């Protein structure tokens, strides 16, 4: 998956038929959306950090989440008010680690690579930023803590550290 072959493509390559894949994917989507609706997935301090940073920098979300999932994730959270836009899976052809999602973000911002910082928590996301030739700060995440982040511009323990990296006051 770190090279761009998602689990569904891997299952198909392993010989799983389309009908089975469709049924399993539909069931997985239902379970995942129920999880998103019922579990506490907020990260402490994110809203406060984004509120502070929004006074100094332009921000957007570039995600591999599908629009339906993204909307569920953010329907009760308040971080979109700090973002200029969100680019979701349906907005680009090839997913991370391909650079396309971040290149779409640059284009939409009208920003140069040199004035942009990607914040990621996954090896696939870092690979996409590196392929797009954009600096990337990797924020610590227990799920991906054993990933290779050696190509990151910097590593941080939490979003609150971004203020120091971006030299905003």
Given pLDDT bands bounded at 50, 70 and 90, which one contains residue 46?
Answer: confident
Q: CB 122: neighbour CB atoms within 10 A?
A: 19
| Average pLDDT score, the chain | 88
Which sign does the torsion angle of CA 52, 57, 60, 61 carry? negative
**39 touches 152 (CB < 8 A):** no
pLDDT value of position 70: 93
pLDDT value of position 154: 93
Whether the per-residue pLDDT at 95 is higher than 70: the answer is: yes
**97, two tokens:** 């680690």
Whether the per-residue pLDDT at 1 is higher than 60: the answer is: no
Mean pLDDT along residues 70-74:
91
Mean pLDDT along residues 107-111:
95
What does each C-alpha distance from 108 to 65, 119, 152 come to in angstroms? 18, 17, 23
Whether the per-residue pLDDT at 61 is higher than 80: the answer is: yes
What does each C-alpha distance from 116 to 1, 58, 59, 166 come to in angstroms? 26, 9, 10, 10
**21 touches 8 (CB < 8 A):** yes
Non-local (6+) Cβ contacts of 57 within 8 A are 166, 168
Tens of pLDDT, residue by residue over 138-163, are 998 888 888 899 999 999 998 889 98
Any idea how long the chain is? 169
Given pLDDT bands bounded at 50, 70 and 90, which one contains residue 168?
Answer: low
Tens of pLDDT, residue by residue over 4-40, are 557 778 888 889 888 988 888 888 878 878 877 777 7
**52-62: b or e for each residue (b if 16 or more CB lie within 10 Å)?**
ebeeeeebbbb
Domain range annotation of the chain: 7-38, 46-166
Mean pLDDT along residues 88-112:
95
Q: Which CATH class is domain 46-166?
A: alpha beta
Mean pLDDT along residues 55-62:
95
Mean pLDDT along residues 104-130:
95
d(CA 139, CA 137): 6
pLDDT value of position 2: 52
| Residue 41 or residue 35, greater confidence | 35
d(CA 115, CA 78): 26
């Amino acid at each position: 998956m770190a090279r761009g072959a998602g689990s569904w493509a891997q299952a198909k390559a392993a010989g799983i038929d389309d009908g089975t894949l469709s049924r399993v994917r539909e069931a997985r989507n239902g379970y995942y959306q129920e999880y998103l609706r019922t579990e506490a997935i907020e990260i402490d301090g994110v809203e406060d950090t984004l509120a502070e940073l929004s006074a100094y920098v332009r921000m957007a979300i570039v995600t591999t989440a599908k629009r339906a999932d993204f909307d569920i994730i953010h329907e009760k959270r308040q971080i979109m008010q700090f973002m200029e836009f969100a680019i979701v899976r349906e907005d680009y052809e090839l997913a991370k680690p391909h650079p396309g999602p971040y290149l779409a973000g640059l284009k939409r911002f009208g920003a140069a690579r040199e004035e942009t910082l990607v914040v990621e928590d996954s090896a696939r996301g870092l690979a996409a930023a590196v392929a797009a030739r954009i600096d990337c700060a990797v924020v610590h995440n227990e799920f991906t803590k054993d990933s290779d982040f050696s190509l990151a511009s910097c590593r941080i323990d939490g979003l609150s550290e971004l203020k120091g990296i971006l030299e905003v006051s």
